[in-house]
Structure 1
């Protein structure tokens, strides 16, 4: 959960320290008693009244200070306030007993005291306040003072705890909103990578084919140009759908596009599909793998043959997609010699995350001495979690 909200934050609507200060008016009776000379030694009583008010204000300010409220300083100030309260209550009685509810109210605001320690302290405080009031007056006065003392502390602690919970919930909600935005940005960036990376690769391959064919076979070159136009229009449609968040891939469509892209790149495609139909979500996920795997084969492999096979495992609960080519695999990283194992690119990493979120796996690496293999496996009825990683990287 988020940390405490600074009390000066304009979005924080929790109680402030000044909300507890007006309760000092409960000491008006003691002040009147002092002015009328009914408190014995007026100088000593005045000093006690001043000390109580000063310590009460100190406790309240410390209890609401975000840097000091979780330290022991409010406890020390509260201990001093308790000593003064018992001293003046025992010494003068009467209206001076009204300071017990104020002490209880200040106790409820002290964070380190909350929980079981606060309950024990309030029981002791209200009991002793009721006893002193009953000893000084009658039993009903004692019950009233004791009940008011206990109620002041418990209500204050409950209200402030609820306020803290509300602020923490608000901070958590803001954090969740930021996380949702980040997830959506990641999803959108991955979708754009998969959409544009594959589409632009197909456009480049078909443009090169058209350039090679133009001098000797104009009709074939025009056919490639027409394919480029169709791919571009389809890409625009897919981008619009991705922007609105409703894009749903199709395994059959991706297999057809893969066959066309491989043929245009001069790579012999071999596509085999066996077993029962997959769920739309599982088909869409495997469609992303086909798109990424074929794009890598066209760009980097230098292969002459690429095999794509989709089948259901013998157990009948998982689908497996295998893409194998006879090329040299992805280009080695800078500073590495050919044949050195390569690190999967962002596309394969994103696909691994996507399949993992749906209960599947993805493995990619060299296929023996030559070529490259991508194997994806996931449940036949797999579904991607809502708001999860919906796109490859």
Structure 2
């Protein structure tokens, strides 16, 4: 979680890094290309200078307007912006046909404005028309062929390069935004995972401590040695809880089904609930064992805290490709939830916060979780997970298929 938070800060810093130009002010310096036309107005070589000056002023004003509208998507795609480009085109053709010479540089400026606004086919068509027009009008003045090619090529290049640079700039911004969003999502997922682990760890541990404390209080007046044994169990559970919390915080916790079953037996016996554990099937991969261990932990915690049961049966049935876990008690079900009352539900059945979190965990691994009234009363939690035979064989070869204290095919009560 700390690493994800650092990643989020890193993405925030990325947003401040220099990148391709993405501001209207980067387009304004290109207006210097119109200095030649302005100079011809000043030295009097342009006939009807007032008309030329008005055209220059109008084109410059429209160019500035397009530059600032090009970086706002809604404005860039509006009809008003297209109308401004049309007006710039009319002024460019009128001035170039009337005066020629340096006034032809309005074509690269117009192409640049089109590159900032238009995209895809519209851009290609507009740039090709402008480049052809610039070359043709230049040729009408009987200038050098190379000059005609240069003005046409410059017009084409202005529009295409501008469009490419601005598209790259937009892509970079979108990628930075995406990175920040992914980092935020990762942090949220890690917080959710940690909260689930903390709920499952502390909920079970504190329930066991409470039950064993009550047992010690009941036994103390008549059997001090048995009471001290319960106190020793409380100390052991507390130390184990500290270890598990540290492992959960660092993200390296791996649960063992056998270990969880032994803890479940101890917690049930302390609560004066008869435990019955039946296991069958081949060895399981450690990841599947860990998920089933979480289910056992949460279900047994609910039995101890809420059910009022006298018997709890835990059945693990392994089959090729699938493993099923059922935890059934003979208690009063879920007395805190009345029929028709609002509350969390799993597949249409009653479920609490812990079971809801387990449902999401198992669903992410391709499994499922159900919870509701048992077939003979009480309450039942059932889980099903896929098992990869290759993973199971590897776990068995490494000697990790069984947790301590479990026996396949055995029934223990």
The superposition leaves residues 336-357 of structure 1 with CA deviations (integer Å, 9 ceiling, x where unpaired) of: 69xxx96210111111111111
Instruction: Measure, in 2, the Cα distance between the counterparts of 1:139 and 1:49.
Output: 27
CA deviation after TM superposition for structure 1 residue 28, in Å:
1.4
Instruction: Measure, in 2, the Cα distance between the counterparts of 1:12 and 1:75.
Output: 31
CA deviation after TM superposition for structure 1 residue 67, in Å:
5.6
Q: Secondary structure at the match of 2:350?
A: coil
Question: Which stretch of structure 1 is more off in the superposition, 132-141 or 356-365?
Answer: 132-141
CA deviation after TM superposition for structure 1 residue 369, in Å:
4.5
CA deviation after TM superposition for structure 1 residue 276, in Å:
1.3
Instruction: Measure, in 2, the Cα distance between the counterparts of 1:80 and 1:179.
Output: 47
Instruction: Measure, in 2, the Cα distance between the counterparts of 1:281 and 1:335.
Output: 36
Instruction: Measure, in 1, the Cα distance between the counterparts of 2:62 and 2:312.
Output: 83
Q: State the partner residue of 1:328.
A: 332
Contact 1:332 1:342 survives alignment (8 Å): no
Instruction: Measure, in 1, the Cα distance between the counterparts of 2:84 and 2:71.
Output: 13
CA deviation after TM superposition for structure 1 residue 65, in Å:
4.1
The structure 1 residue matched to 2:125, chosen from 117, 120, 125, is: 120
1:34 pairs with 2:41? yes
Contact 2:349 2:370 survives alignment (8 Å): no
CA deviation after TM superposition for structure 1 residue 335, in Å:
8.0
Gaps of 5+ in 1: 1-8, 384-393
Q: State the partner residue of 1:236.
A: 242
Q: State the partner residue of 1:63.
A: 70
CA deviation after TM superposition for structure 1 residue 368, in Å:
2.7
Q: State the partner residue of 2:259.
A: 253
Instruction: Measure, in 1, the Cα distance between the counterparts of 2:291 and 2:181.
Output: 29
Q: State the partner residue of 1:140.
A: 146
Q: State the partner residue of 2:199.
A: 193
The superposition leaves residues 353-390 of structure 1 with CA deviations (integer Å, 9 ceiling, x where unpaired) of: 1111111111111113411111111112399xxxxxxx
Q: State the partner residue of 1:388.
A: none
The superposition leaves residues 82-106 of structure 1 with CA deviations (integer Å, 9 ceiling, x where unpaired) of: 1111110000001110110010001
The structure 1 residue matched to 2:135, chosen from 110, 115, 130, is: 130
Contact 1:62 1:73 survives alignment (8 Å): no
Contact 1:39 1:45 survives alignment (8 Å): yes
The structure 2 residue matched to 1:319, chosen from 316, 320, 323, is: 323
Question: Which stretch of structure 1 is more off in the superposition, 370-379 or 64-73?
Answer: 64-73
The superposition leaves residues 112-135 of structure 1 with CA deviations (integer Å, 9 ceiling, x where unpaired) of: x21111101111111111111111
- After superposition, residues 264-343 of structure 1 pair within 5 angstroms as 264-313=270-319, 316-333=320-337, 343=350
Instruction: Measure, in 2, the Cα distance between the counterparts of 1:303 and 1:356.
Output: 29
Q: State the partner residue of 2:219.
A: 213
The superposition leaves residues 255-281 of structure 1 with CA deviations (integer Å, 9 ceiling, x where unpaired) of: 000000000000000111111110000
Instruction: Measure, in 2, the Cα distance between the counterparts of 1:11 and 1:63.
Output: 22
> What TM-score, normalized by structure 2, do the two folds share?
0.86
CA deviation after TM superposition for structure 1 residue 214, in Å:
0.4
Instruction: Measure, in 2, the Cα distance between the counterparts of 1:279 and 1:335.
Output: 39
RMSD (Å), alpha carbons: 1.8
Gaps of 5+ in 2: 1-14, 342-347, 392-413
Instruction: Measure, in 1, the Cα distance between the counterparts of 2:189 and 2:79.
Output: 42
Q: State the partner residue of 2:28.
A: 21
Question: Which stretch of structure 1 is more off in the superposition, 279-288 or 17-26?
Answer: 17-26
Contact 1:329 1:372 survives alignment (8 Å): yes
Instruction: Measure, in 1, the Cα distance between the counterparts of 2:194 and 2:351.
Output: 21
Q: State the partner residue of 2:344.
A: none
Q: Secondary structure at the match of 1:284?
A: helix
Instruction: Measure, in 1, the Cα distance between the counterparts of 2:104 and 2:225.
Output: 105
Instruction: Measure, in 1, the Cα distance between the counterparts of 2:25 and 2:250.
Output: 50
Contact 2:22 2:170 survives alignment (8 Å): no
Instruction: Measure, in 2, the Cα distance between the counterparts of 1:368 and 1:270.
Output: 17
Instruction: Measure, in 2, the Cα distance between the counterparts of 1:70 and 1:223.
Output: 78
The superposition leaves residues 309-355 of structure 1 with CA deviations (integer Å, 9 ceiling, x where unpaired) of: 11213xx1111111111111122326869xxx962101111111111
> What TM-score, normalized by structure 1, do the two folds share?
0.90
Q: Taking structure 1 as reference, are residues 369 and 275 closer, same or farther at Cα in structure 2, changes over 3 Å only?
A: closer
Contact 1:282 1:381 survives alignment (8 Å): no
Q: Taking structure 1 as reference, are residues 81 and 323 closer, same or farther at Cα in structure 2, changes over 3 Å only?
A: same
Instruction: Measure, in 2, the Cα distance between the counterparts of 1:84 and 1:283.
Output: 77
